[in-house]
Structure 1
Amino acid sequence: MFNGNFFHGLGYLGEGFRLIRQPGLRLFVIIPLLINILLFAGMAYFLAMMFSSLVDMAMGWLPDWAWLQSLDWLFWLLYGAVILLMLAYGFVIVANLIGAPFYGYLAELTEKHLTGQEPSVDGGWAQIVRDIPRALWREVQKILYYLPRALGLFIIGLIPVVNLVAAVLWFIFNSWMMALQYVDYPADNNRVSFPELKRQLAQQRLSALGFGLPVALAAMVPLLNLFVVPAAVCGATAYWVRESRLPVKK
C-alpha cells in the first residue's frame, strides 16, 4: 500500500522549476501564467467573502459553554487551514480545466527534452486545438474523482473538534490529488487511461505523495502558486519519465 520512495518524490517539483526556464518551454509557461493570475485573484476574493460567514455559522452550533466559546480563535485557525487547502486545490482544478491543452503540450515538450529529442513547437497551436476535447475530458474525470471525496472531508471539517482530523486528512488528500493531477498530463500523452494511472501511482504511493506534498504546499503560497502549476507539469513529466524507466538525457 505504501511502496515507493517519499524523499525521492520530493525532488521533482524543484526539477520542474528548473525545466520551465528552458528556452523551448517558456512560451507554454507564460500563457497559462497570465490565465492563473486573473483566476486566482477572483477565487481569493470569493472565498474571503465566504470565510467569515462559515466560521460564524460553526460557532453558532456550539453549546453556550464559556470555555468552548473562548476557543473561537482555534476554530478560526482550523477553518482557515481547511479553506486554504480548498483554495489551493480548487484553484488547481479550475486553472487546469482552462489550461489543460497548454499543459498537455508542455508535458509533451518536456518529455522530449528529457529523453534527448528536440522540443520543436512547429504545429504546436494546431495540436493544442485538436487536443482540447480529450484534455477537457481528462480534467472532468479528475474532477469527478475529487468531488465526492472532497465533499466528505468538507462535511467532516464543519464539525467542531473533529475538524482537527479533517485538516490533516485534507492535506494528505491534496498531496495525493496534486500527484494524480499533474502526472496525468504525460500519462495522457502516452495514452495511459486515468484508471490505469491511478493504479500505477498507487503502486508507488510514497513517491507520489512525496511529489504531491511540495506542490500542495506551494499552491497555498500567494504568488508562488501562480508559478507552481507549469513547474508541477514539468516536474510530473520528469516523474513519469523516470518512474516509467524511460531513458533520460543527462
Structure 2
Amino acid sequence: MLKGNFFHGLGYLAEGFRLIRQPGLRLFVVIPLVLNILLFATLFVFLADIFSVFIATAMGWLPDWSWLQSLDWLLWLLYGGVILLMLAYGFVIVANLIGSPFYGYLAELTEKHLTGQEVGVDGGWAQIIKDIPRALWREVQKILYYLPRALGLLILGLIPVVNLVVAVLWFLFNSWMMALQYVDYPADNHRMSFPLLRQRLAQQRLSALGFGLPVSLGAMVPILNLFVVPAAVCGATAYWVREPQLSLEKQTQA
C-alpha cells in the first residue's frame, strides 16, 4: 500500500519558487540558470527534428488495424507525451551534470535558511570546486539508475495497446525520478547514500510523487523549465527538512 500525502508533496515546488527569491540564495540560482539557458538553446535546435522523425517512425510501426488506425490521434498524443517526458528528464540530466556543484551548495544554503541558521557564502567557491568530483559521481549514479528502467519502458511502449498503459507508467516514473533527482542534493550534503535515499523516499512514495509531479510537468515547458530546476532544488530541501522519514539524525533523536 502506498503511503504518504500526495497533496502535501505538491506544495514543495511552489515553496521552492518562493525560496529562490531570497537574497542569500539568488547568486547560486543565477549562475546555473545562465548555464541552463545556453544548454536549452542548444538542445532545442538539436532535438526539434529528432522529435518529428521519432513520432513518424513510431506511427509507421503500428499494424493496419482499422480500430487502431482510428485512434491514431490518441496514439500520437501518447507517443508525443512519452518523448516529451524523455526530453524533459534528458534536459534535467544534462543541466544537473553541469550545475550539480552549484545545486549542492544551493541546497546547503537553503537548509540553513529554513532551519534559522545564518546564510553566508564565505568560502563557498572553494567548497563548490572541492565538491565537483563527488557531485558528478552522484549524478552518474542517478543516470545509471534511470537508464535501464527508461529503456525497459521504451521497449514496452513500442508494443501496440500495451503502450496505452506504458504512457501512464512513464509519467509516474518520471515523477518518481524528479523526486529522487532533487531530494538527493540535501541527502548528499548529509552523506546519505543514494540507495538509502531511494529506500527512505519509498516509505512515503505518495509524498515523493506529489513533489515530483509538478517538477516533471514544469520540466516539459520551455523557458519555465529553466527556473524549475533551481526551484526544485530549494523545494526538495524543504522536503528534506520537513519529511521526518528522510533524516537519519531525526530518527536517531526520536
The TM-score bracket by the shorter chain reads: over 0.9
TM-score (norm 2): 0.92
Aligned position for 1:234: 234
Q: Does 1:2 align with 2:2?
A: yes
Per-residue CA shift, 1:101-121, capped at 9, x if unaligned? 000000000001111111100
Contact 2:108/2:189 (<8 A) preserved:
yes
Structure 1 unaligned segments of length 5 or more: list them: none
SS of corresponding position for 2:122: coil
How do 1:95-106 residues align onto structure 2 when only pairs under 5 Å count?
95-106=95-106
Q: Distance in 2 between matches of 1:148 and 1:232?
A: 24
Cα shift at 1:3: 1.3
Aligned position for 1:168: 168
Cα shift at 1:67: 5.0
Q: Distance in 2 between matches of 1:73 and 1:45?
A: 25
Q: Distance in 2 between matches of 1:63 and 1:205?
A: 37
Aligned position for 1:118: 118
SS of corresponding position for 1:83: helix
Aligned position for 2:219: 219
Identical aligned residues as a percent = 83
Q: Distance in 2 between matches of 1:181 and 1:20?
A: 18
Q: Which stretch has the larger CA shift, 238-247 or 175-184?
A: 238-247
User: In 2 relative to 1, CA 2–71 (structure 1 residues): closer, same or farther, beyond 3 Å?
Assistant: closer
Q: Distance in 1 between matches of 2:163 and 2:41?
A: 27
Q: Does 1:89 align with 2:89?
A: yes
User: In 2 relative to 1, CA 156–45 (structure 1 residues): closer, same or farther, beyond 3 Å?
Assistant: farther
Q: Which stretch has the larger CA shift, 16-25 or 163-172?
A: 163-172
User: In 2 relative to 1, CA 66–200 (structure 1 residues): closer, same or farther, beyond 3 Å?
Assistant: closer
Aligned position for 2:200: 200
Q: Does 1:210 align with 2:210?
A: yes
Contact 1:3/1:205 (<8 A) preserved:
yes
Structure 2 unaligned segments of length 5 or more: list them: none
TM-score (norm 1): 0.94
Cα shift at 1:63: 3.1
Q: Distance in 2 between matches of 1:69 and 1:205?
A: 37
Cα shift at 1:36: 1.1
Contact 1:85/1:171 (<8 A) preserved:
yes
